[in-house]
Structure 1
Amino acid sequence: MASILKYTEEQYKLVKGSRKVLFDYCRTISPEDFINQNTSFGRGGSMRNLLVHISNTYEYWIANLALKSDIVYSKYEENTSISDVIKLFDQVDDFMNIFIANIESFTDIQYEIQNIKSTATALKLFTHVITHEYHHKGQILSISRHLNYVPVDTDIMR
């Protein structure tokens, strides 16, 4: 079996490929629809807000907890276009590359949720952030469908 380093490098490459398909699709969405908030969906209910929320999750778990950076979370209103969001994910990719390059050297990472302290392996954090991204990617495509767009296939296998 390949090392965890090689596995996570390859896995994240697949995530970025799928993300690029979504970003290319979002370029076809009108700017008004991209930020249109639909209360049927969580986290502000717009495609933009969900993408910023995804980046915030990477910022929290990977940059702040694992890498012990002091990143200020991205704000919805500061990312008004898909171009802004793509720049935001360029920053996510930068710290993800650092995280992945060092993944074999992490010991258990401490965190706290709802006043409960726990630990997680680097692989668990990695798995959490990428599955979280895919969960919200599906919501983004559903929002676009509600706005009468035809969603693209962002699956890894396409």
Structure 2
Amino acid sequence: MYNIESYLKTQYRLTQESRAIVFGYCKDISAEDFVNENNSFGLGGSIRNLLVHVANAYEYWILNNALNNKTSNTPYSSVTTASELESVYQNIDDGVLEFINRYKSTAFEAMNLNTKKVNHDVSPLELFTHVVTHEFHHKGQILSLSRHLGYTPIDSDIISF
């Protein structure tokens, strides 16, 4: 029988493995295409902006709110390559593991987060699920955007056939 800590760590490891595939793929995308903005994809619609947006969600929900580490969100313009993003995500990875360790015994209990003057009663499990599913949602957009730029998207699913 698995405990919630091992479940969350395993789930996050799988997320990191999928992310690493996307980062590897992005290293083969030209620097110009990496930052090319397509407003059809929202958030400035570049591959870079979408990856930074995902990082910002982890920074906002996990680092700033759940862990109370008052860090600034990563500005889009501070990142120009997929390699630079890897260091941004290293900080996030460390934060997510700290989050799991801190909340492993209360993963199903509501915690109150006051964000933008709105109170949210969410469990750590809900918060974790929110940021991970958010990442996968935008990963799909990134791969679709790359197709629009003329690339052949890779399979970054957790289970590939």
For normalisation by structure 2, the TM-score amounts to: 0.93
User: What one-letter code is carried by the residue in structure 2 that aligns with 1:109?
Assistant: M
Write the distance in 2 (CA, Å) between the matches of 1:155 and 1:113.
32
Partners in 2 of 1:113 and 1:95 — Cα distance?
19
How far is the alpha carbon of 1:80 from its aligned partner? 1.0
* C-alpha separation in 2, matches of 1:43 and 1:19: 19
Percentage identity across paired residues of the two chains: 46
Describe the shift of the 1:114–1:78 C-alpha distance in structure 2 as closer, same or farther (beyond 3 A): closer
Distance 2:113 2:139 in 1: 25
Contact 1:55 1:74 in 2 (8 A): yes
8 Å contact 1:111–1:119 — kept in the other structure?
Answer: yes
| Residue number in structure 1 paired with 2:140 | 138
Residue 62, structure 1, aligned to residue 62, structure 2: yes
Q: How many angstroms apart in 1 are the aligned matches of 2:117 and 2:88?
A: 30
Q: Kindly provide the amino acid, as one letter, of the partner of residue 59 in structure 1.
A: E
Pick closer, same or farther for the CA change 1:71–1:113 going to 2, 3 Å: closer
Q: Give 2:148's aligned amino acid.
A: H
Q: Match of 1:45?
A: 45
CA shift for structure 1 position 113: 5.9
Number of residue equivalences: 158
Q: Does structure 1 conserve the Cα–Cα contact (< 8 Å) formed by 2:62 and 2:99?
A: yes
TM-score with structure 1 length normalisation? 0.95
**Secondary structure, in 3 states, of the residue corresponding to 1:111?**
strand
CA contact (8 A) 1:4 1:103 kept: no
Secondary structure class of the residue paired with 2:56 = helix
Runs of 4+ in 1 over 4 A off after TM superposition: 112-115
Give, in whole Å, the separation in 1 of the partners of 2:75 and 2:105.
31
Q: Which amino acid aligns with 1:125?
A: L
Structure 1 residue aligned with 2:151 = 149
Tell me, which stretches of 5 or more residues in structure 1 are unaligned?
none
1:117 paired residue number: 119
Q: Which runs of 5+ in 2 are unaligned?
A: none
Q: Which deviations, in whole Å up to 9, do the C-alpha atoms of 1:55-78 show, x marking residues without a partner?
A: 000001100111011011100000
Gap change, CA 1:8 and 1:49, over 3 Å in 2: same
| 1:129 aligned onto 2:140 | no
Is the 8 Å Cα contact of residues 63 and 71 (structure 2) preserved in structure 1?
Answer: yes
User: What SS does the aligned partner of 1:63 have?
Assistant: helix
Would you say 1:25 and 2:25 are equivalent positions?
Answer: yes
